[in-house]
Chain A
Amino acid sequence: YLYNNRYAGDQVLRITPRNEEEVQVLRRLFQNMSVDLWQPNSASLIHEGRAVDVHTGQNGTAGLKARLRQEHIQHSVLISNLQEEIEKQTGYRSSRKRR
């Protein structure tokens, strides 16, 4: 496995804060959680109506989703298994190598 399979089960969620209150909730949330923000690249840059793409680890995804549901913040799953996407991204190469 690429990267020793470290991204197995990791996901990328898309969250769209609809108002300033949700923006503040997200900023507070991400100050205390170790997540990998893809877009924007800092919690301080989260704005109302702007999509937030966040990479969460296998262990943190359920908790983050639960918290988002609790706060009634809209979210969707962009990438449901990051390891699979990584394998696909350069899968062509490894198959070539195997060949």
Chain B
Amino acid sequence: SEFQYDYEVYHSMEEIQSWMFEMNRTHPHMLDMFSIGRSYEGRPLYVLQLGKRTRTYKKAVWIDCGVHAREWIGPAFCQWFVKEALNSYRHDSSMRRLINQLTFYVMPVFNVDGYHYSWKVDRFWRKTRSKNAKYHCRGVDANRNWKVKWCEEGASSHPCDDTYCGPYPESEPEVKAVAKFLRKHKRRVKAYISIHAYAQMLLYPYSYKYATIPNFNCVETAAQNAVSALYSAYGVRYRYGPASTTLYVSSGSSIDWAYKTGIPYAFAFELRDTGYFGFLLPETLINPTCTETMRAVRAIASGLLKKC
């Protein structure tokens, strides 16, 4: 029977994993599913590789969702992106061009343990679920655990804080697995995109310092195009710019690590809204939020196919 999946509701970790298996089974020529490791609690870290298989060299885009457990709109967007890309391949020539010329690595849930915990126990859990021998508090902020200016301004060294950076960089198996994968594929990965919520912003390096990145003009243009594309859907305005000035200074973040690793375009989206619902964005807003964000991500990906 036709696989019915409702992309306009939030799904549990188990449902998302089943969806991945089903999409992999039903789109063998466009999708490839693999695990890049296991979480602290032993869950597989699945990634979907989206794109036409070719022997030739192809640039790649990495998209991760759900770094922070309570930001449920992230995983909803990653699933929406895969569904839209596959559904529009036949009738949308620009999407077809993107999929033919780029490889998309999509990780629907980065923080699989935290997401599961936010479904079952604490809706507002943010961190991973690793244990700390000396403290009763659990979890590390996976976006303070990357090896770049690790555990300095904007991060906390106290295990009970929400911005705890961890005992050492890449201490979290989820962060270590993604870092290892991106290091391995860094020659091909030209864009790193991390989906967060909420604030309606598009952020790029640096987060840990007030300085301008070397390829500022190209990245700023890509960001401008992205937020313009997003605005074109429903008129929602996003702020954009370097994370340190647009949001706040924070060290150990994934976009700074990706950029330092050599990925020229690194973005973090903070999706809807600006505080009215916050982390509790209603399911009725999944469709418009994902539709507008899809336009922004497509704009960034299209930019990779042009020279800058």
Chain A residues near B (Cβ < 8 Å): 2-3, 7, 12, 14, 36-42, 44-45, 47, 50-51, 53, 55, 78-79, 82, 85-86, 88-90, 92-93
Contacts and interface: CB of A to CB of B under 8 A. Distances in A.
A79 B9 contact: no
A42 B10 contact: no
B123 A39 contact: no
Nearest to A53: B275
25 contacts: A2-B123, A14-B275, A36-B162, A38-B124, A39-B198, A39-B275, A39-B278, A40-B248, A41-B162, A41-B163, A42-B161, A42-B162, A42-B163, A44-B154, A44-B156, A45-B163, A45-B250, A51-B275, A55-B124, A78-B276, A85-B280, A86-B280, A89-B277, A89-B282, A93-B283
B163 A36 contact: no
B57 to A, nearest CB: 39
B271 to A, nearest CB: 13
Contacts of A45: 154, 163, 248-250
Contacts of A86: 123, 280
A13 to B, nearest CB: 11
Contacts, number: 69
Given A7-B123, A78-B275, A78-B276, A89 B198 contact: no
B301 to A, nearest CB: 29
B150 interface: no
Nearest to B248: A45
Nearest to B160: A34
Contact of B199 (A12, A39, A92): A39
A90 B283 contact: yes
A93 B282 CA distance: 12
Nearest to A51: B275
Contact of B162 (A37, A51, A89): A37
A12 B156 CA distance: 23
B46 interface: no
A44 B156 CA distance: 9
Closest CB pairs A-B (n = 10)? A42-B163, A45-B248, A85-B280, A89-B280, A41-B162, A53-B275, A38-B278, A92-B283, A36-B124, A93-B9
